Amino acid sequence: MKLCHSTSSPNSRRVRMFIAEKGISTPLHPVNLGEKEQFSDWFKAVNPRQQVPVLVLDDDTKIAEVPAIWRYLEETHPERPWLGSDARSKALVAMWERRVELDGFAPTMEGVRNAVAGLKGRALSGPHDYEQIPELVERSKRRVANFYTDFDARLKESPFASGAEFSAADITALVTVDFATAGLKMPIPDQAHALQHWYEKVADRPSAKA
Amino acid sequence: MKLCHSTSSPNSRRVRMFIAEKGISTPLHPVNLGEKEQFSDWFKAVNPRQQVPVLVLDDDTKIAEVPAIWRYLEETHPERPWLGSDARSKALVAMWERRVELDGFAPTMEGVRNAVAGLKGRALSGPHDYEQIPELVERSKRRVANFYTDFDARLKESPFASGAEFSAADITALVTVDFATAGLKMPIPDQAHALQHWYEKVADRPSAKA
C-alpha cells in the first residue's frame, strides 16, 4: 500500500493527518503538481480525475477521493476510529465532516482556484478545462466568512466538530482554516473565540504536522 | 425513526431509493419546499442548514446529509449492503458515488439553482443568501455533458457505477440523470449507449419509483 500525494495539496493533507492519527505507516509517493505530473500518462492511469491523493493497494486497486481513502483505512485499521464508533456516531461524523467540507473547504478551494493566475483555464481540477469566473472569488470569500461564523457557533456547544471527541471532521476543519489563511488571506476572525480555542487544541496534535 | 423529505428534492429521492433497496419501512414527514417550510423555525431546529432530507431518530438525534443518512441505515440494517461489503468495496463505492456526485449531481444542482427564476438570490441552498451567477448555468451544462461522456466510458468497462454490483453510486447516478433531464433539459445523449443500457436496468428497479 502506498499513498500518492503532494505536500502542496490540502486534500492530501487530510489523508496524511488521518494516517498519522491512526498511528500507521504508509509509504508516500510524491506527485509533483508544480510540474503538472498529475496530467502525466502514468498518473492518469492511477486516477482518471487527475487528482491527488490516491491510495494504491498491494493488489493495485486505486482508491481516490478523501472520504473513500479514509473509509478503507478505517475498515482495515479499526483501532482509533476517527469516523465514529457506533451507528449514531458514524452518521454524525459523516454529517459534520461533510458540512465542514461543503461550507468551508469547498468554497476555499473554489476561491483559490478562481483567483490564482497559474490556474487560468483550470478553475476546476480534473480532466476538463473550465475558465475562471471572477465573481466566484468574492462569493467564496463571503461563504468562508459565513463558515467561520457558523462553525464558531457550533464550537460554542461542542468541543469538537462532530461532538465530544476528535474525529475526521476536525481534520477537514483544520485543513480548511490553514488553507483559507494561506490561500485567501482569511485567518480565523478575532471575535471567533470558540473557533480559536478549538484551533489551538487541534493544531497542537502531532498529526497537524503531517 | 422518521425521514423529513420532499418529493421535489432530488437529495430526498437518493435516500428514499436507498430505503426502498434496503426493504425497510420508514415514516415519511413531508417538508413543503414550495411554501418555504425549510425556513420555518421548527425545521431550522431539525437542520440548521435548512435542507431536506433529515433522518430523525427515536432519541431525537437528527442526521442530515445523504451519505450520513445512508451510513446510519447501512449500519443499523447491514443486510443488502449498498455501501459495499468489505473494506475494498466500501472504499470503491464511496469513491464512485462521490465522483458521480461531484461531476454529475452537483453541477446539475448548480445549473438549476443559478437559472430558475424562483431561486433568485438563493443560488446556494442553506441559511445564507447568494445571488445567481448566469455564467454558472452554461458552465454547469458543459460539466454535465462531460459527466455523461465520462460516465458512459466507465459503464463500457463496468456493469454498474462502482463495479459488478448495484450500489449507492447507481442511486446517485440515476437521480442525476433524471434531474438533469427534467431540470436542465439534458437527457442521456443518443450516442451514450452504455449509459443508456445502464439507465434502463437501474430505472427498472422498483426502488426507482421511491
* Residue B39 burial (10 A CB sphere; 0-12, 13-18, 19+): exposed
Q: Quick one: pLDDT at residue A104?
A: 98
B127 touches chain A (CB under 8 A): yes
How many CB contacts within 8 angstroms connect chain A with chain B? 102
Average confidence score pLDDT of chain A? 98
Least Cα separation, residue B202 to chain A (angstroms)? 23
Which of B47, B61, B65 to mutate to test binding with chain A, by most A CBs within 10 Å of its CB? B65
Q: What is the pLDDT of residues A196-207, one digit of tens each?
A: 999 999 999 999
For residue B30, what are the β-bridge partners?
A: B5
Chain B positions touching A92 (Cβ under 8 A) are 61, 63, 68
Return d(Cα A79, Cα A34) in angstroms, integer: 36
Residue by residue, DSSP assigns B67-122 as HHHHHHHHHH--SS-TT-SSHHHHHHHHHHHHHHIIIIIHHHHHHHHTT-GGGTTB
Q: What is the pLDDT of residues A85-115, one digit of tens each?
A: 999 999 999 999 999 999 999 999 999 999 9
Chain B positions touching A68 (Cβ under 8 A) are 91-92, 94-95, 98
Q: Quick one: pLDDT at residue A180?
A: 98
Q: Kindly give, in sequence order, each residue whose CB lies less than 8 Å from that of residue A40, ignoring residues fewer than 6 positions away.
A: none
Q: Kindly give, in sequence order, each residue whose CB lies less than 8 Å from that of residue B28, ignoring residues fewer than 6 positions away.
A: B2, B3, B5, B16
What one-letter code names the amino acid at A148? Answer: Y
Q: Kindly give, in sequence order, each residue whose CB lies less than 8 Å from that of residue B138, ignoring residues fewer than 6 positions away.
A: none
Nearest 10 degrees: CA dihedral of A54, A57, A61, A67? -40
Q: Kindly give, in sequence order, each residue whose CB lies less than 8 Å from that of residue A41, ignoring residues fewer than 6 positions away.
A: none
Q: Quick one: pLDDT at residue A165?
A: 97
CB contact under 8 A, B87 and A69: no
CB contact under 8 A, B128 and A146: yes
Return d(Cα B140, Cα B108) in angstroms, integer: 6
Contact A169, A96 (CB under 8 A): yes
Return d(Cα B122, Cα B128) in angstroms, integer: 8
CB contact under 8 A, B75 and A57: no
Which ipTM score applies to this complex? Answer: 0.98
Domains with residue ranges and CATH for chain B: 2-76 (3.40.30.10), 87-205 (1.20.1050.10)
Chain B positions touching A146 (Cβ under 8 A) are 127-128
Q: Quick one: pLDDT at residue B79?
A: 95
Share of chain A above pLDDT 90, in %: 100
**β-pair type (B28-30, B2-5):** parallel
Q: What is the pLDDT of residues A29-75, one digit of tens each?
A: 999 999 999 999 999 999 999 999 999 999 999 999 999 999 999 99
Which of A14, A57, A65 to mutate to test binding with chain B, by most B CBs within 10 Å of its CB? A65
Radius of gyration of chain B (CA): 17
A1 touches chain B (CB under 8 A): no
At residue A63, φ and ψ (nearest 5 deg) are: -110, 110
Spans of chain B below 50 pLDDT: none
- Least CA distance to A162: which residue of chain B? B63
CB contact under 8 A, A68 and B146: no
Choose the closest CB to B63 out of A75, A91, A133.
Answer: A91
CB contact under 8 A, B65 and A127: no
Q: Kindly give, in sequence order, each residue whose CB lies less than 8 Å from that of residue A75, ignoring residues fewer than 6 positions away.
A: B86, B87, B90, B91
Q: Quick one: pLDDT at residue A51?
A: 97
Q: Quick one: pLDDT at residue A162?
A: 98
Q: Quick one: pLDDT at residue B170?
A: 99
Euclidean distance between the first and final Cα of chain A, in Å?
18
Q: What is the pLDDT of residues A136-156, one digit of tens each?
A: 999 999 999 999 999 999 999
Q: Quick one: pLDDT at residue A137?
A: 98
Q: Kindly give, in sequence order, each residue whose CB lies less than 8 Å from that of residue A138, ignoring residues fewer than 6 positions away.
A: none
Choose the closest CB to A87 out of B76, B146, B150.
Answer: B76
The answer to whether the bond into B48 is cis (omega within 30° of 0) is no
A88 touches chain B (CB under 8 A): yes
Chain B positions touching A76 (Cβ under 8 A) are 87
Euclidean distance between the first and final Cα of chain B, in Å?
18
Reference A114, options A106, A101, A129, A124; nearest CA is A124
Chain B positions touching A126 (Cβ under 8 A) are 103
Q: What confidence tier does A24 reach under pLDDT thresholds 50, 70, 90? A: very high
Contact residues, A window 157-196, toward B, CB-based 8 Å cutoff: none
Chain B positions touching A127 (Cβ under 8 A) are 146, 150
CB contact under 8 A, B92 and A61: yes
Cell (9 digits) for A174: 483544520
Contact A88, B61 (CB under 8 A): yes
Chain B positions touching A3 (Cβ under 8 A) are none
Q: Quick one: pLDDT at residue A123?
A: 98
CB contact under 8 A, A67 and B135: no
Residue by residue, DSSP assigns A82-110 as TT-SSHHHHHHHHHHHHHHIIIIIHHHHH
CB contact under 8 A, A61 and B142: no
Q: Quick one: pLDDT at residue A130?
A: 98
